[in-house]
């Protein structure tokens, strides 16, 4: 591995380089790393911020939405002048201003069963900032088949959760075998969300992604972290791999073709 860093990089990443746990070797790993951020909204904004600042060399950003004024209360990489613009383009401009070291690959599309494996397979880590269960199950299943770890996060009003899914650990379906019934979990447009909440959860996801790229520390594998902003409390619940899981179990799937993600995300047994 070429460990050469230029003078600007030595200055920019100096607080990483002096750490024994990172050093120049670790910083070069980050610069060579490829992270796919699914969603450039509330959770995706701090993830993009901190992965770019940390020097993760290639950021793929997936989003098919445009910036709206109501986003600006929490989606901090976008501004008033970006309203009406695709979020991926606004995010790319933000990254370019923050750190010219970073290559941004924009994917102005919705990740689904038709493109998930192709997209995910091009990256070293996925950061799941999706706001719906269908996408979360698609990401889980495709990433498991492609052998790519996922830093997952979700938010609701004043609460958030995070976990990390690695190829040899329990998957999202071990934790949540089936999604809730449609309409039982309203989105933030209906219930609202504390503006700073996704910043906290997104930073946890970004931390997990950096650790995975560095192969350092203990990720949130088999642990679901709950955060309550009103109580300012954190709680961790352990979960295990299910040997009968249709995705990561003993007879796990090898393809996502044929799974009805629109009709409950269930994987039918052979």
Three-state secondary structure readout of 173-238: HHHCCCCCCCCCCCCHHHHCECCCHHHHHHHHHHHHHHHHHHCCCCCCECEEEEEECCCCEEEEEE
Cα 73 versus chain centre, distance: 20
Is 188 in the active site? yes
| Contact assessment for residue 128 and residue 38, using Cβ atoms and an 8 Å cutoff | yes
Marked catalytic residue, from 171, 174, 188, 265: 188
Contact 76, 44 (CB under 8 A): no
Tokens of 64: 């098919």
CA distance 214 to 180: 35
CB atoms within 10 A of CB 13: 23
For the annotated catalytic residues, the residue numbers are 188
């Amino acid at each position: 591995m070429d460990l050469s860093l230029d003078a600007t990089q030595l200055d920019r990443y100096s607080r990483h380089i002096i750490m024994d746990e990172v050093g120049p070797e670790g910083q070069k790993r980050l610069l060579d790393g490829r992270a796919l951020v699914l969603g450039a909204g509330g959770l995706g904004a701090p993830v993009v911020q901190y992965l770019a600042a940390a020097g993760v060399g290639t950021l793929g950003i997936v989003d098919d939405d445009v910036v709206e004024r109501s986003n600006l209360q929490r989606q901090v990489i976008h501004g008033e002048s970006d309203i009406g613009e695709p979020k991926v383009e606004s995010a790319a401009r933000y990254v370019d201003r923050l750190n010219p070291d970073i290559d941004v690959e924009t994917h102005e599309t919705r990740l689904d069963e038709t493109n998930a494996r192709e997209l995910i397979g091009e990256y070293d880590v996925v950061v799941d900032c999706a706001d719906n269960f269908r996408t979360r199950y698609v990401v889980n299943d495709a990433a498991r088949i492609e052998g790519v770890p996922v830093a997952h996060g979700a938010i609701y009003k004043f609460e958030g959760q995070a976990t990390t899914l690695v190829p040899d650990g329990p998957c999202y379906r071990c934790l949540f075998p089936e999604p809730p019934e449609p309409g039982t979990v309203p989105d933030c447009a209906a219930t609202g969300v504390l503006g700073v909440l996704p910043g906290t959860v997104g930073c946890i996801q970004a931390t997990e992604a950096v650790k995975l790229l560095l192969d350092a520390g203990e990720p949130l594998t088999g642990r679901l972290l709950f955060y309550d902003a009103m109580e300012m409390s954190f709680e961790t619940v352990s979960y295990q791999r299910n040997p009968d899981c249709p995705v990561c179990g003993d007879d796990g799937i090898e393809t996502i073709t044929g799974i009805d993600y629109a009709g409950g995300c269930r994987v039918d047994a052979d």
